[in-house]
Amino acid sequence: MGLVAAFRNSVGQVLLIISGNLSFLNWLTIVPSIACFDDRSLAFLFSPRRGGVKDRVLQLQGSGEQPPPGLGCHIRRVVNISFGLLIAYLSVPVVINLLSSRQVMNTSFNPLRIVNTYGAFGSITKERTEVILQGTSSPDPNDPAAVWQEFDFKCKPGDLWRRPCFISPYHYRLDWLMWFAAFQTYEQNEWIIHLAGKLLAQEEEALSLIAMNPFAGKDPPRWIRGEHFKYKFSKPGGAHAAEGKWWIRKRIGPYFPPVNLQGLRKFYEDRNWPYPVRD
């Protein structure tokens, strides 16, 4: 049973590694499963040549007669079976919860916290929303003629024509945070306004965290805003895919209004943040 559980867990995590950029989380989840594979199941990894590791282990295992199981062995077996039955009994409400349409995540079902439901996410969304940061050199952000240019991040969806990246087990922390910010409001994620101020000042440290700065070699943007979009994959063979687009997006609305450096001064001072200065 241990081998079956380890194999199923490892295959499931590999599928998640292939299908999603969840950083090192899935790789770490595989590590405990390795202990479930015994010598026989891992023998194919070692050379069968004479004198090799596999040959020496077989010689040690067959060098003497195995003594009959003692009292300690029987006691250990009884304890193991007892613990197994206890875990199975305590797991009944956990399994019922997992099969429920109102599944509760990250919850313990007994005072000793022996069995729990755990998930990296409390729930899985069926839609992908993204915050797109845009800047303009226009003096008036409300001018219909203002040209807004997008900042592209290193991995998260943005440019419709860019193929989704594959970086696991590497972790782009800022891209990850931008994804979570899209689930909430900018008031709940004040750091995104902090980032906007640094991009307005064109600070090198902030710019190093993004893939494409539309104002490189130009005057810094006067205004930056956040736009909220819903993203989904283009359909293979569809009109958007024929144009080379990997993504289709639909605007939801503004995420945060246009801001400039002067207008952010008090925002920074109230939070004791260093005020960004343009080079």
Extract the tokens encoding 206.
């902030």
Q: From its phi and psi, is residue 165 left (phi > 0), alpha (psi between -120 and 50) or beta? A: beta
**Type of residue at 204:** E
Q: What percent of the chain has pLDDT over 90?
A: 59
Q: What is the pTM of this model?
A: 0.77
* Largest pairwise CA distance in the chain: 89
pLDDT tens digits, 137-168: 999 999 999 999 999 999 999 999 999 988 88
Q: What percent of the chain has pLDDT over 70?
A: 95
User: 46-75 burial by CB neighbour count: b if 16+ within 10 A, else e?
Assistant: eeeeeeeebeeeeeeeeeeeeeeeeeeeee
For residue 59, the model assigns a pLDDT of 73
pLDDT of 169 strictly over 90: no
Sign of CA dihedral 34, 22, 87, 8: negative
pLDDT tens digits, 53-92: 777 777 766 655 666 778 888 899 999 999 999 999 999 9
Q: Calculate ∠ Cα 162-198-254, nearest 5°.
A: 60
Region 90-102: mean pLDDT is 88
Count of helix runs (H) and strand runs (E) in the chain: 11, 8
Using a 10 angstrom Cβ sphere, with 0-12 exposed, 13-18 middle and 19 or more buried, the burial of residue 178 is: buried
Q: How many residues does the chain have?
A: 279
